[in-house]
Amino acid sequence: MTYELSGLQDAVAVVTGAGRMRSIGRPIAVALAQAGCDVMLTGTGRDPEAYPEDEKREGWRDIHSVSDEIEAYGRKAARFIGSVADPEDVQSLLDATIEEFGRVDIVINNAGAARGADRVPVVDLEVAEWMKVIDVNLNGTFLMSKFFGKRMIQQADGGSIINISSIAGKLLPPNTAAYGSSKAAIQGLTASMAAEVGKYGIRVNAICPGIIDTFRMDDLGRGDGWKELIASQIPLGRAGTGEDIAHQVVYLCSDQGEWITGQSYTVDGGTAPGR
């Protein structure tokens, strides 16, 4: 007898920040489709001229390419362009999801601000950079949780919200004050909301990835410095993949994860043991 995860067949999932080819959001969306979900994908409408070179070579089309992958598994996919940091866009996303699918069962808050000029000491951090990171990472997660959580309560059929945090929200390293603070706050939001909505059968958890080999790490290169980083920071000896995070997401959203809520799971190859 084969052991299989259950409870995801014909569920409706919303995955934010799902358009990058090398990412966490895309593997999550695809894995949920493989598990039986229909998926609403969100993106910000990136300028194709700004795509990484590998996306340009592949003729990548952001969330359109991801929706093609989902449909190849026999599931329905829909797309929405907007900002999770804008309450009106989030309301429009909810409306579009209900119009397309009639309900929502799973929300994956994955959209996040890219690595940038925020990676400096606090005293050198521009206010605008701080605001941008907090607005997308924390406020976006809050708005999605608020709007979609209310709809889940009204549906009276439970559901699952997964917030993508980071080990930076536990380790809080120097020169990452905006990013680390936003991710630590997401863990706080996760725990507090879980205590509020558990009575409705809604589960809220966070996943804290470690070093994941995505486009966000491109500024570090993949040479000797990258290899030294992996060797010194990850006991299991390799960077993570988006699929490593997707596996945890699918489990937490399944029937087999139905007694888990309010947790922030570290998935990092051993970088932050005990955290």
Structure tokens at 9: 């067949």
The SS3 of residue 86 is coil
Average pLDDT over residues 80-100: 98
pLDDT digits (tens, 9 = 90+) for 19-46: 999 999 999 999 999 999 999 999 999 9
Average pLDDT over residues 253-263: 98
**Cα dihedral: 86, 88, 90, 94 (round 10):** 180
Which CATH number does 12-267 carry?
Answer: 3.40.50.720
Name the one residue in this structure whose structure tokens are 């390799």.
238
Q: What is the pLDDT of residue 114?
A: 82
Residue from 179, 200, 251, 265 carrying the catalytic annotation: 179
- Nearest C-alpha neighbor of 76 from the set 167, 17, 170, 10: 10
Average pLDDT over residues 177-206: 98
Neighbours of 216 (CB within 10 A): 16
| Amino acid at the residue 47 | D
Query: For this structure, is 200 an active site residue?
Result: no
Q: What is the pLDDT of residue 224?
A: 86
pLDDT digits (tens, 9 = 90+) for 230-243: 999 999 999 999 99
Indicate the pLDDT class of residue 1, thresholds 50, 70 and 90: confident
> Which residues is 12 bridged to in the sheet?
38
Contacting residues for 45 by C-beta, under 8 A, at least 6 apart: 62, 81
Instruction: Give kind and range of the element (H or E) at residue 109.
Output: strand 106-109
Does residue 64 have a pLDDT over 90? Answer: yes
Neighbours of 215 (CB within 10 A): 16
Query: d(Cα 244, Cα 255) in Å, to the nearest integer?
Result: 19
| Average confidence score pLDDT of the chain | 96
Average pLDDT over residues 119-140: 97
The DSSP string of 170-223 is: HH--TT-HHHHHHHHHHHHHHHHHHHHHGGGTEEEEEEEE-SB-SGGGGGG-SS
Q: What is the pLDDT of residue 115?
A: 81
Structure tokens at 117: 């000029």
Does residue 222 have a pLDDT over 90? Answer: no
The SS3 of residue 43 is strand
Does residue 134 have a pLDDT over 90? Answer: yes
> What share of the chain has pLDDT > 70, as a percent?
100
Strand order in the sheet with 77-81: 77-81, 38-43, 12-15, 106-109, 159-164, 202-209, 264-267
Does residue 191 have a pLDDT over 90? Answer: yes
Q: What is the pLDDT of residue 159?
A: 98
Q: What is the pLDDT of residue 204?
A: 99
- Nearest C-alpha neighbor of 42 from the set 104, 133, 102: 104
Does residue 14 have a pLDDT over 90? Answer: yes
Average pLDDT over residues 161-166: 98
pLDDT digits (tens, 9 = 90+) for 202-219: 999 999 999 999 987 887
- Nearest C-alpha neighbor of 209 from the set 258, 272, 161, 151: 272
Question: Where in the chain are the domains?
Answer: 12-267
